[in-house]
Amino acid sequence: MRVTFLGTGTSQGVPVIACQCAVCQSTDTRDKRLRTSIMVQLDDDTNIVVDTGPDFRYQMLREDVRRLDAILVTHAHKDHTAGMDDVRAFNYQQQQSIPIYGTTITHESLKREFYYAFGEQKYPGVPRLDLRPILAGETFRVGTQSIIPIEVMHYRMPVMGFRMGNFAYITDAKTVSDESKALLKGVDTLVVNALQEEPHISHFTKDEAIAFAEEIEAKTTYLTHISHRFGKHDDIERTLPEGIRVAYDRLVIDVQ
């Protein structure tokens, strides 16, 4: 499969509005981070997007995405769901609803935020969202790909990560149970959030993310959900051990 990093920034993105810090003023394109999301392209040409944040429309245009087969939603925070309305462009092009995989709690939030898409009397052109519930640890399929939802905790909020074969994507994690770690053991490629150096109530720090990756024995790890407080891309990279990298927007990796 091919994984494209659509966004690698935290909830405010980088640069942050009105911020004059060195990271936000950086001219390195790798320091320009949209809200966190990835696209997974399977060998059968199935396109899966994980999370539709506020930048979803631009991300789809930038990568020239012409078909969308499914969306996986990690949790209901706005930086992961705010762009859901723009799914209607794919509804129109494909003349079908788009499957939205998420927990019941996440689906209930989508029903509140995008109420107009779920009413009995729908206005013409509203997004057509086919809500498909998932449970932690229970495998489901999209196209030819088996996907395991893996629960992590974002302070007190459950968030779903996803394992697809030897690839795993975890975002907005602060603590992970032993049961969830067991589902991640042996992944070749891990993507995991690392907000900043300093402790945070609901996100891994750099050191916590590294320790987590080492515990589950990932061969290669990419850090994402990066804050402007973390530092510039090159400066972060110089502090990382072998096998740990900083993801950046539009990075493409091929995973076996």
Rg, Å, the chain Cα set: 17
SS3 57: helix
64 torsion bin: left (phi>0), alpha (psi -120 to 50), beta (else): left
Q: Could you give phi then psi for residue 5, rounded to 5 degrees? A: -80, 105
* Residues β-bridged to residue 140: 147
Closest C-alpha to 74, from 44, 42, 110: 110
pTM of the predicted model over 0.85: yes
Q: Please classify residue 20 by burial: count the beta carbons closer than 10 Å to its beta carbon, then call 0-12 exposed, 13-18 middle and 19+ buried.
A: exposed
Q: In this predicted structure, what is the pLDDT of residue 123?
A: 87
The DSSP secondary-structure symbol of 256 reads -
Per-residue pLDDT of the chain (256 residues; tens, 9 = 90+): 999 999 999 999 999 999 999 999 999 999 999 999 999 999 999 999 999 999 999 999 999 999 999 999 999 999 999 999 999 999 999 999 999 999 999 999 999 999 999 988 888 899 999 999 999 999 999 999 999 999 999 999 999 999 999 999 999 999 999 999 999 998 999 999 999 999 999 999 999 999 999 999 999 999 999 999 999 999 999 999 999 999 999 999 999 8
Percentage helix, strand, coil, to 5, in the chain? 25, 30, 45
Q: Could you give phi then psi for residue 124, rounded to 5 degrees? A: -55, 130
What is the per-residue pLDDT across 62-91, written as a single tens digit (0 to 9) for each? 999 999 999 999 999 999 999 999 999 999
Q: In this predicted structure, what is the pLDDT of residue 120?
A: 86
Distance CA 220, CA 213 (A): 9
Q: Please classify residue 12 by burial: count the beta carbons closer than 10 Å to its beta carbon, then call 0-12 exposed, 13-18 middle and 19+ buried.
A: middle
Fold of 2-254: Metallo-beta-lactamase; Chain A (3.60.15)
Q: In this predicted structure, what is the pLDDT of residue 102?
A: 98
Count helices and strands (H / E) in the chain.
Answer: 7, 14
